[in-house]
Amino acid sequence: MSSIENPIGICKHIPNLISSFVDTFVDYSFSGIFLPQDTNPHNEIPQTRFDKPERLVAIGDLHGDLEKSKEAFRIAGLIDSSDRWTGGSTVVVQVGDVLDRGGEEIKILYFLERLKREAEKSGGKILTMNGNHEIMNVEGDFRYVTKKGLEEFQVWADWYCLGNKMKNLCLGIDKAKDIYEGIPMSFPRARADCFDGIRTRIAALRPEGPIAKRFLARNQTVAVVGDSVFVHGGLLAEHIEYGLEKINEEVTGWINGLCGGRYAPAYCRGGNSVVWLRKFSDEMAHKCDCSALEHALSTIPGVKRMIMGHTIQDAGINGVCDNKAIRIDVGMSKGCSDGLPEVLEIRKDSGVRIVTSNPLYKENPNSQIGLGLLVPAEHVPKSVEVKA
CB atoms within 10 A of CB 183: 16
Could you give phi then psi for residue 104, rounded to 5 degrees? -130, 45
> In sequence order, what are the beta bridge partners of 320?
325
Instruction: Tell me the residue ranges of DSSP E strands in the chain.
Output: 49-50, 55-59, 91-94, 125-128, 222-225, 228-231, 305-308, 318-320, 325-327, 342-347, 351-356
* 3-class state of residue 92 by DSSP: strand
Q: Cα separation of 35 and 19, whole Å?
A: 15
Q: Is residue 174 exposed (0-12), middle (13-18) or buried (19+ Cβ within 10 Å)?
A: exposed
* Cβ partners under 8 Å of residue 245, min gap 6: 45, 48
Instruction: Annotate 152-176 with three-state secondary structure.
Output: HHHHHHHHHHHHHHHHHCCCCCCCC
Q: Cα separation of 386 and 121, whole Å?
A: 34
Start-to-end CA distance of the chain, whole Å, equals 70
In this structure, the strands spanning 55-59 and 318-320 are unpaired
Query: Closest Cα partner for 136 from 258, 233, 45, 237?
Result: 233
Q: Cα separation of 311 and 313, whole Å?
A: 6
In this structure, the strands spanning 318-320 and 325-327 are antiparallel
Could you give phi then psi for residue 346, rounded to 5 degrees? -125, 115
CB 153 within 8 A of CB 137: no
- Give the single-character DSSP code of 131: -
Active site residues: 133
